Amino acid sequence: MSAKPKVFVTRIIPAKGLQMVQEAWDVDLWTDDLPPSRDIMLQRVRGVAGLLCLLTDRVDGELPVAAGPQLKVVSNHAVGFDNIVVPDCTARGIPVGNTPGILTDATADFAFALLMAAARRVVEADRYVRTGQWKTWGPSVLLGSDFVGATLGIVGYGRIGQAMARRALGFDLRVIYYDPTAIPEPNDPAQKVSLETLLSESDFISLHTPLSPATRHLMDARAFAQMKQNAVLVNTARGPIIDQMALYDALKTGRIFAAALDVTDPEPLPMDSPLLELENLIIVPHIASASQSTRDKMAMMAAANLIAGVQGQRLPNCINPQVYDR
């Protein structure tokens, strides 16, 4: 009987997915809480047929070379794939998988939770109580913004952006979106607008676009200058879409009202970052998709991509299907 193909899994993923992979292949599992270093990655992929990696692992052209010609698949345990240089994998005929769809609702729920928390100052109010500042009920204490009738601007109108719009419509918000590639649906109450219109008309802005050269620092000093003074900015997409120094200035000077970041640049945010001094900023550690069942589904989808790839079958969710046209 021939030995099972070997795969490298770069972190302990939820058991439902890990078991699928362990039952199928010979798994080399990285069990540390922190990601493997670059050197360790390059060593551990040597001779593997498949790699199941996380968004904290960089996969570029060097990696398939270090792995060897038997590498058949890279499966990312995330929907975003800016950690992977996809053309480098495509050039070698290696399919790359991701986990779209299943985390849409969890991510949109969390983006909406952050929006409400920032607009109504929930985290700041909790700190106010815990630091003994609550002396009495006050008519002007911790005032925030109303939702009904306000305008939400969504940047990136894919699956998650549209799920955010559905939530916002339930709260009687007007929804506009900026997405150069989205084709407007005739009955969609959300309206497609230019970036300039979105920046100048939105009371709330939520980012749902992938990170690319076109979206890196899309929210820069110029963008903040166009926003309303009561604007609340939420980012559950990728940290580098915001120029964080420009965000710092905008929040510090009151150019905008508040922000909430699930993602930062870099991650984790260094403890000496000036952003941590700001009362009107919420920062959480990249957990928008972190519900139990969503993470189970992500692990199972990443496992299914890995297993199919090692078997030489088409990945259920493939980012670079061009590899199959060869």
- The verdict on whether 159 is a catalytic residue reads no
Does 233 engage in binding with ligand GLV (CB under 6 A)?
Answer: no
> Which one is catalytic: 167, 208, 286, 295?
286
- Minimum CB distance to ligand GLV smaller for 35 or for 80: 80
Please name the helix (run of DSSP H) or strand (run of DSSP E) that holds residue 40, with its range, or none: helix 38-44
Q: Is 286 left (phi over 0), alpha (psi -120 to 50) or beta?
A: left
Is there binding between residue 211 and ligand GLV (CB under 6 A)?
no
Q: Out of 52, 67, 78, 310, point to the residue binding ligand GLV (CB under 6 A).
A: 78
CB nearer to ligand GLV: pick between 145 and 264? 264
Q: Which residues pair with 8 in a beta bridge?
A: 28, 51
Looking at the Cβ atoms of 280 and 317, the one nearer to ligand GLV is 317
Q: How far apart, in Å, are the Cα atoms of 280 and each of 13, 145, 198, 202, 252?
A: 34, 13, 22, 18, 8
DSSP character at residue 275: G
State the binding string over 280-299 for ligand GLV (x if CB under 6 A, else -): ---------x----------
Among 41, 45, 103, 118, binds ligand GLV (CB under 6 A): 103
Is 267 annotated in the active site?
A: yes
Is 208 considered catalytic here?
Answer: no
Nearer to ligand GLV, 78 or 168 (CB): 78
Catalytic residue among 267, 277, 279, 314: 267
Nearer to ligand GLV, 84 or 103 (CB): 103
Residue 86, interface with ligand GLV (CB under 6 A)? Answer: no
Interaction of residue 51 with ligand GLV, rule CB under 6 A: no
Q: Give dist(CA 88, CA 99) in Å, integer.
A: 20
Considering only 49, 79, 223, 241, the residue that binds ligand GLV (CB under 6 A) is 79
Peptide bond into 266 cis (omega under 30): yes
Catalytically annotated residue among 44, 77, 238, 295: 238
103 or 233: CB nearest ligand GLV: 103
Instruction: Look up residue 312 and give its two tokens.
Output: 């030489």
Cα–Cα distance, 51 to 121 (Å, whole number):
42
Instruction: State the Cα angle at 302 between 297 and 306, rounded to 5°.
Output: 145
Stretch that binds ligand GLV, among 62-70, 72-80, 125-133, 275-283 (CB under 6 A): 72-80
Q: How far is the CB of 53 from ligand GLV (least distance, A)?
A: 12
For position 160 contacting ligand GLV by CB under 6 A, the verdict is no
Distance CA 165, CA 174 (A): 9
CA angle 199-201-206, nearest 5°? 55
Helices (H), 218-325: 221-226, 244-252, 292-310
Burial of 35 (0-12, 13-18, 19+ CB in 10 A): middle
- DSSP letter for 86, please: H
Interface residues with ligand GLV (CB under 6 A) are: 55, 78-80, 103, 289
Active site residues: 238, 267, 286
